[in-house]
Amino acid sequence: MDRINPATGEQLDPVETEDEADVERAVERASEVYPEWSGRRMEERQKLLARAGDVLRENKQEYAELMTREMGKPISGALSEVEKCAWACDHYAEKAGEYLADEHIGTEPHADAFVSYEPLGPVLAVMPWNYPFWQVFRFAAPTLTAGNTGLLKHASNVPGCAQAIEEVFREAGYPEGAFQSLIVGSDLVEQVVEDDRVRAVTLTGSEGAGRAVGATAGEQLKPSVLELGGSDPFVVLEDADVEAAAAVGARARTLNSGQSCIAAKRFIAVEEVYDEFLDAFVSEMEALTVGDPMEEETDIGPQAREDLMADLHEQVEDTLSDGAELRTGGEPLDRDGFFYPPTVLTDVPRDATMSCEEVFGPAAAVYEVPDEETAVDLANDSTYGLGGSVWTEDLDRGARVARRIESGCVFVNELTKSDPRIPFGGVKDSGYGRELGEFGIKAFVNEKTVWVQSAADQDV
């Protein structure tokens, strides 16, 4: 696989691609090791996961620099990403046994009925490039600890990250075949999903990829979890702390150089505070540092690929053609690499490109609305439903508004984020199923009912 450093446009050393025979061997290994791996005591699997967290921390700088070279993530964010992966390992190393303990249910006086949470087998994960370690570990940490084996088909521009993640589990002491990376193109995904030995699939990626993988999994009657795109609303009500909302909003739009499914993308402010919010928000966006992602002071690095930068610019230009007004940014930077500046558009029509499509880069659409009711209506006027953010000094009001927003998660006075302790996922075209927390570790288990009846109380 060819790799390009998006900060310089220079070629990195290519990574050798695997073929169908390699995939067959990997699937067979995952299937063969599954009975032994799933038969291990939960405590042993938890201990190995804790060790994986240690390996991540011991090699944090190396993994962070690898992410930055392959997809341009600012180094500070890359270091934080490795730490977050280790946190996920810590969390499930502590909580997996509790999450998957037998759940006893009262039924009849002389019967013991309980739910046993048992693994399924090999699980395929199709993962994106934007958070190349975190996306994988939020799948792998719970799924492997539940007793499944894992197969990773990572994005083609981060094959080095895929290999490094496999090495993390190997170095932690996992058995050969418990977790494997398939260095293959997307053309082989369908046949892996169709393989009888693969028992479930999860995908984080585009809506189109999710529909394709979900359809194949459905035809095979296999469970799937899909975490797809988002166009998250960021609602600023008239009683909000406007300065805080603007500062956090700029960060929420530009985390990972704007390349995040849960980034705030549509900023909706009621008219009483619209001008104040817009001025503060534009100032915050313009104050961000665009530059070399290897430098600690850099806030925004390059877009991950040249074609992605071109797509982003086309969305901005289309939205301006639809009648929006440009407040800052709006043109690719004239320098080596694939850099796009923080960009803010206002007066964006509801049917404009940036209103209807996911915008994967540091470009924000800002809307003025008369009141809370209109803000909620606009927030829900999207085919997506991944996350959202509401800003108000009245916390009860914030909770009420949050309940009305059609998404998988809503944060009040905070940016949308994923956390190992709480479930994460979307509704509508943002997908289905949940990752993380107790819900995540139960995504790929058999919730088996066991009924134990006292023989003395049998009806004859």
- Select from 172, 221, 173 the least CA-distant residue to 193: 221
Number of neighbours of residue 340 by Cβ within 10 angstroms: 25
**Cα dist from 222 to 124, 139, 210, whole Å:** 11, 17, 14
Q: What tokens does 259 get?
A: 């390349």
Q: What is the pLDDT of residue 458?
A: 65
Domain(s) of CATH 3.40.309.10: residues in the chain: 232-412
Q: Is 451 helix (H, G, I), strand (E, B) or coil?
A: strand
Domain(s) of CATH 3.40.605.10: residues in the chain: 3-228+430-450
Q: At what angle do helices 159-172 and 60-71 cross, to 10 degrees?
A: 160
- CA angle, corner 442, sides to 39 and 454, nearest 5? 65
Q: What is the pLDDT of residue 182?
A: 98
CA dihedral 358, 231, 318, 347 (to 10 degrees): -170
Q: Which CATH superfamily, name and number, covers 232-412?
A: Aldehyde Dehydrogenase; Chain A, domain 2 (3.40.309.10)
Question: How many residues does this entry show for the chain?
Answer: 460
**Contact 378/369 with Cβ under 8 angstroms?**
yes
**Contact 52/45 with Cβ under 8 angstroms?**
no
Enclosing H/E stretch for 76: helix 75-99
Q: How far apart are CA 201 and CA 190, in angstroms?
A: 11
Which residues are tagged catalytic?
A: 227, 261
**Contact 174/150 with Cβ under 8 angstroms?**
no
Q: How far apart are CA 121 and CA 416, in angstroms?
A: 32
Q: What is the pLDDT of residue 455?
A: 77
Q: What is the pLDDT of residue 354?
A: 98
Q: Given CATH 3.40.605.10, say whether it is the number of domain 3-228+430-450.
A: yes
Q: What is the pLDDT of residue 380?
A: 98
**Cα dist from 53 to 79, 149, 261, 334, 419, whole Å:** 14, 18, 25, 40, 16
Contacts of 304 (CB under 8 A, 6+ apart): 6, 71, 72, 129, 130, 157, 259, 338
Q: Over the chain (460 residues), what is each successive 10-residue block's mean pLDDT? A: 95 95 98 98 98 98 98 98 98 98 95 97 98 98 98 98 98 98 96 98 96 97 97 98 98 98 98 98 98 98 98 98 98 97 98 98 98 98 98 98 98 98 98 98 98 76
